[in-house]
Homo-oligomer: A and B are copies of this chain.
Amino acid sequence: MNQDANAAQALAERAAQALYAGDRASQRFGIKITAIAPGEAQVAMRVSEDMLNGHQTCHGGLLFTLADSAFAFACNTHGDTVVAAGCSIDFLAPARSGDELLATAKELWRGGRSGLYEVVVSDQRGERLALFRGRSHRVSASP
Write the residues of chain A forming the contact surface with B, with a CB cutoff of 8 angstroms.
Answer: 18-28, 49-56, 58-62, 64-66, 68-69, 72, 76, 81, 83-94, 108-109, 111, 114, 116, 128, 131, 133, 135, 137
Inter-chain CA distance A61–B60, complex, in Å, is: 10
Known: A22-B54, A24-B52, A26-B59. A89 touches B86 (CB 8 A): yes
Return A120 CB to nearest CB of chain B, in Å. Answer: 9
Inter-chain CA distance A51–B53, complex, in Å, is: 18
Q: List chain B residues, Cβ under 8 A from A26.
A: 53-54, 59
Between-chain CB contacts (< 8 Å), 29 pairs: A19-B53, A22-B54, A23-B53, A24-B53, A25-B52, A25-B61, A26-B54, A53-B69, A54-B76, A59-B69, A60-B65, A60-B72, A60-B87, A61-B66, A64-B64, A64-B65, A64-B68, A65-B65, A83-B91, A85-B90, A85-B114, A86-B88, A86-B90, A87-B89, A88-B89, A90-B116, A92-B111, A93-B111, A116-B131
Main secondary structure of the interface of A (DSSP, over half): mixed
Inter-chain CA distance A59–B25, complex, in Å, is: 7
